[in-house]
Structure 1
Amino acid sequence: MEKEKLQSFCMTLSGTTHDYQVDWQADRYHVGGKMFAMIGGDSEGKPIITLKCEPKRAEELRETYKGIIPGYYMNKTHWNSIYFDSNLSTDLIENLIQHSYNLIFEKLTKKVQKEIRME
């Protein structure tokens, strides 16, 4: 998994904005002002991407894939972190990014959703 590919994929999603959180040393991706992805490191500096996930699916993913853990520094029920060295397919990770984006997008007001779709 390459950081640049993940960043590029995140930026292809409608209405996505990016910032860098200096305190966390993490790149953050937002839609409608709400974060859906964060690329940074764990306590040992190992690269991870953290994504929102439907709770039941989040648990299933953690049980299925060794490289997926409860969201680092996030609500463990609703967020997963994925280690870059976990050998997961690009398709799976892009699917999980899209899932995270969709969960956030669906919670935005209808007005904001419409504005994003118009971009």
Structure 2
Amino acid sequence: MNISDLLSYCMDKPGAEQSVHSDWKATQIKVDDVMFALVHEVNGRPAVALKATSALADLLREEHKDVQPSEHLNKSYWSTVLLDGTLKDSQIYYLVDASLQQVLATRSPH
């Protein structure tokens, strides 16, 4: 998967907005002003940081060398997934959807 395909998938979510986080040289994807994906590069490789339950994050890291704790985010919940690694596109899309559901479920009411 490449960054362009990933951004298109994320931006197809209702209410999705993207902005640049200049300190991290990354693109944030948010819904209702809550980030669910952070698209960036890790050592020149395309990657995305996604939120999951701590149990799922641990499981993903154990099973896939291309899933690592995120550098700038809460490592218990946020994992960085390398897009050019061993995960199939369908698995990455599933994790994007799970991340969106996770942040929407945990946000504080307005």
Which structure has more helix as a fraction of its residues?
1
Q: 1:13 Cα deviation (Å)?
A: 1.0
Query: Where do 5+ consecutive residues of structure 2 fail to align?
Result: none
Greater gyration radius: 1
Contact 1:51 1:80 in 2 (8 A): yes
Amino acid at match of 1:37: A
Q: Which runs of 5+ in 1 are unaligned?
A: 112-119
Query: Is 2:91 aligned against 1:92?
Result: yes
Residue 87 of structure 1 and its aligned partner are, at CA, apart by 2.5
In the TM superposition, what is the alpha-carbon distance from 1:72 to its structure 2 partner? 2.2
Alignment match, 2:38: 38
Matched residue count: 110
Letter in structure 2 aligned against 1:82: V
| C-alpha distance in 2 between matches for 1:109 and 1:61 | 27
Deviation at 1:106, TM superposition (A): 1.7
- TM-align CA RMSD: 1.4
Instruction: Name the % identity.
Output: 28
Secondary structure of the corresponding residue to residue 86 of structure 1: coil
- Match for residue 63 of structure 1? 62
Residues of 2 paired with 1:59 and 1:109: CA distance?
Answer: 25
**Paired residue secondary structure (1:99):** helix
What is the TM-score of this pair, normalised by structure 2?
A: 0.91
TM-score, normalised via structure 1 length: 0.85
Contact 1:32/1:108 (CA < 8 Å) preserved in 2? Answer: no
